[in-house]
Amino acid sequence: MNRTVLDRIALVLVIIGAINWLLIGFRDYNLVAEVISLFGLGSSFSRIIYYIVGLSGLYTISLLFREAEPAKEQG
């Protein structure tokens, strides 16, 4: 299945969110908040990032229901 640019961006954001949750679960370490605080952007910016990651997760649900392209025969 060919992925669009939006599909790829959404998948990357979902993976980042999953890694962040893994770190929170194992080490109680919030990577997203840490990176945002390094740049001095504050909590309102982190809420925007979490919002975008959450929307990406909802968007990637659509990938489950897309028709796959038929496999090409080699011959």
Q: What is the pLDDT of residues 28-73, one digit of tens each?
A: 999 888 888 888 887 788 888 899 999 999 999 999 888 777 667 7
**Would you say residue 20 lies in a domain?**
yes
- Per-residue exposure over 10-29, b if at least 16 CB sit within 10 Å of its own CB, e if not: bbebbebbeebeeeeeeeee
Q: In terms of residue numbers, what domain contains 22?
A: 5-64
**Would you say residue 71 lies in a domain?**
no
**Would you say residue 29 lies in a domain?**
yes
Question: What 3-state class would DSSP assign to 47?
Answer: helix
How many domains are contained in the chain? Answer: 1
**Would you say residue 9 lies in a domain?**
yes
pTM of the shown model: 0.77
